[in-house]
Amino acid sequence: GIQVEQSPPDLILQEGANSTLRCNFSDSVNNLQWFHQNPWGQLINLFYIPSGTKQNGRLSATTVATERYSLLYISSSQTTDSGVYFCALVNSGYSTLTFGKGTMLLVSP
Amino acid sequence: DAGVIQSPRHEVTEMGQEVTLRCKPISGHDYLFWYRQTMMRGLELLIYFNNNVPIDDSGMPEDRFSAKMPNASFSTLKIQPSEPRDSAVYFCASSSGTGRSPLHFGNGTRLTVT
């Protein structure tokens, strides 16, 4: 099956700092999503981004499908950004999401 | 849109008991997925349905697990008998198509089997 690698595995930031999370994948994809799992365990959709760039407030994401990676940018981080960020994708020709292991982010005040 | 609704939010039960988890997908979504999350294994797909029909149950760990979708607005995941190693967070998710549509998750059911 498709391989999904996320980096870094852990990240600690001071409030106000910027960060970039990366997701590398091993095959072509039909669907790529970024999720935030907050400290209460909820999985929240951030972006549906099989290609291109999208922005939502302080967050933005870029997927370069031809080079098989996606980036999630967090600017001016806040303590509420803490949690685990998952990249999940659907391999072309398949139907189901495969999740990466996630990046655990801690934003300290 | 109320989102994907799961119940109960928490379940604590004793080994050997039957456990039933419930899910109501987003109205109009024709795909429903059950995932399990543990520290060791991360997020694993257990089973998914299309138009109420199970399509792939290869992720279901063993015969103690079963899932049904009697109609478009309701699904259950049953564990009988439950074991301590079944302790995990179980998520239900739905989408309006497979592969090319975003997946929306419920808040999960945290199951503890003692």
A87's tokens: 């990249």
| pLDDT over 80 (residue B99) | no
* Inter-chain touch A42–B43, beta carbons under 8 Å: no
Predicted pLDDT of residue A96: 80
* pLDDT class of B98 with cuts at 50, 70, 90: low
Q: In whole angstroms, give the CA distance from residue B80 to residue B57.
A: 17
Nearest by CB: A33 against B55, B98, B102: B102
The number of beta carbons lying within 10 Å of the beta carbon of residue A77 is: 22
Residue B1 has a pLDDT of 63
Chain-chain contact of A88 with B103 (C-beta, under 8 angstroms) = yes
Q: What is the pLDDT of residues B19-74, one digit of tens each?
A: 999 999 999 999 999 999 998 888 999 999 999 999 999 999 889 999 999 999 99
Which residue in B45, B98, B107 has the most chain A C-beta atoms within 10 A of its own C-beta, making it the best mutation to test that interface? B98
Distance CA B35, CA A108 (A): 31
CA-based angle A27:A29:A32, to the nearest 5?
Answer: 125
Q: Which of A4, A34, A43, A47 to mutate to test the interface with B (most CBs of B within 10 A)?
A: A43
Going by pLDDT thresholds of 50, 70 and 90, the confidence category of residue B100 is: confident
Tell me the per-residue pLDDT of A65-103, one tens digit each, with 9 for 90 and over. Answer: 999 999 999 999 999 999 999 999 987 776 788 899 999
**Closest by alpha carbon to A44, among A92, A3, A88, A107?**
A88
How many of the other CB atoms lie within 10 Å of CB of A11?
18
Query: How far off is chain A from B48, nearest CA to CA, in Å?
Result: 8
For residue A19, the model assigns a pLDDT of 97
Structure tokens at A102: 């996630």
